[in-house]
């Protein structure tokens, strides 16, 4: 009797990758990764947006080639390259964020909050709803506690691990899978570049958690006695007409 070969679903590969632990491993990798801001050799550019797009195109090509190469091993061996693939792509993208900031002359202002925002906001915007607020045309970033960084890393890790597990079939079709993984890495790096350029163009700053938390909600004007009486009169008039 012949055994049926696994089809590439997450449930079929428990010996290689545990779906329940995948998000945790990616989250821990994110926490380790964003603690370091890469140095840059790019100089302040006279036309920073054009330079940023040139840098983005080059980084996207490198990311596609790197991801496609790591996705070539077939079957279970391909699963073993999932986390190294993510780390390799993040390294390219983090360097891209650093270089774009340097082209705009703002490399010294980069922190872990801005790095997290640029690398992963397009992955799950919901996780970043409390990270930054708009103050006029600028982005004001909160100084995130370690617990908040962990929460964001966990949400991003779960999203990325589910996507990786969902691409399990491609690990059994190495050539086709490598092309798809490479194309996604190209697109993903473009998203990182777009987020970074937008942040640089509109400007950004950093505030303490308490300072940034206050404007997050639209302040309500306090009700005065005059306003309360006016509302009661309107309600009474409406009830009389009914």
First to last CA, the chain: 80
Dihedral sign (CA 183, 188, 194, 200): negative
Question: Tokens in use for 188?
Answer: 């993903």
> What does the alpha-carbon distance between residue 158 and residue 146 come to, in Å, rounded to a whole number?
18
> What does the alpha-carbon distance between residue 239 and residue 242 come to, in Å, rounded to a whole number?
5
Dihedral sign (CA 104, 108, 112, 114): negative
Convert the pLDDT of each residue in 123-138 to its tens digit.
988 889 889 888 888 8
- Of 37-46, 146-155, 230-239, the poorest mean pLDDT is in 230-239
Using DSSP, state whether 208 is helix, strand or coil.
coil
Task: State the pairing for strand pair 138-142/132-135.
Answer: antiparallel
pLDDT at 126: 86
> Quick check: 47 and 103 in contact, CB under 8 A?
no
- Of 13-17, 54-58, 185-189, 201-205, the poorest mean pLDDT is in 13-17
Please tell me which of 34-43, 47-56, 165-174 the model is most confident about, judged by mean pLDDT: 47-56
- Residue 158, number of CB atoms within 10 A of its CB: 17
> What does the alpha-carbon distance between residue 65 and residue 3 come to, in Å, rounded to a whole number?
35
Task: State the pairing for strand pair 204-207/132-135.
Answer: unpaired
Q: What is the rounded average pLDDT for all residues in the chain?
A: 76
Dihedral sign (CA 146, 204, 160, 185): negative
Convert the pLDDT of each residue in 77-103 to its tens digit.
555 667 788 889 999 999 999 999 999
| Residues 6 or more apart whose Cβ sits within 8 Å of residue 100 | 48, 52, 55, 56, 193, 196, 197, 200
pLDDT band at 27 (very low <50, low <70, confident <90, very high): confident
Alpha helices in the chain (DSSP H): 19-33, 48-70, 75-79, 82-103, 112-120, 146-166, 174-202, 209-213, 225-241
């Amino acid at each position: 009797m012949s055994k049926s070969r696994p089809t590439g679903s997450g449930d079929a590969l428990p010996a290689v990758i545990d779906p329940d632990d995948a998000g945790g491993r990616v989250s821990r990798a994110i926490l380790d990764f964003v603690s370091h801001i890469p140095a840059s050799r790019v100089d302040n550019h006279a036309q920073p947006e054009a330079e940023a797009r040139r840098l983005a195109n080059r980084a996207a090509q490198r990311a596609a080639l790197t991801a496609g190469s790591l996705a070539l091993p077939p079957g279970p061996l391909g699963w073993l390259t999932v986390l190294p693939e993510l780390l390799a792509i993040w390294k390219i993208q983090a360097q891209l964020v650093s270089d774009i900031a340097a082209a705009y002359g703002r490399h010294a202002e980069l922190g872990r909050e801005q790095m997290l925002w640029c690398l992963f906001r397009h992955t799950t915007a919901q996780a970043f709803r409390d990270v930054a607020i708009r103050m006029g045309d600028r982005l004001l970033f909160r100084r995130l506690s370690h617990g908040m960084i962990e929460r964001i890393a966990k949400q991003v890790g779960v999203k990325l691990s589910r996507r990786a597990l969902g691409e399990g079939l491609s690990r059994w079709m190495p050539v086709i899978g490598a092309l798809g993984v490479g194309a996604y890495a190209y697109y993903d790096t473009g998203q990182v570049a777009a987020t970074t350029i937008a942040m640089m163009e509109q400007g950004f700053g950093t505030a303490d958690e308490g300072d940034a938390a206050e404007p997050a909600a639209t302040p309500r004007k306090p009700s005065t006695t005059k306003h309360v009486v006016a509302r009661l009169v309107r309600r009474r008039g409406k009830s009389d007409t009914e």
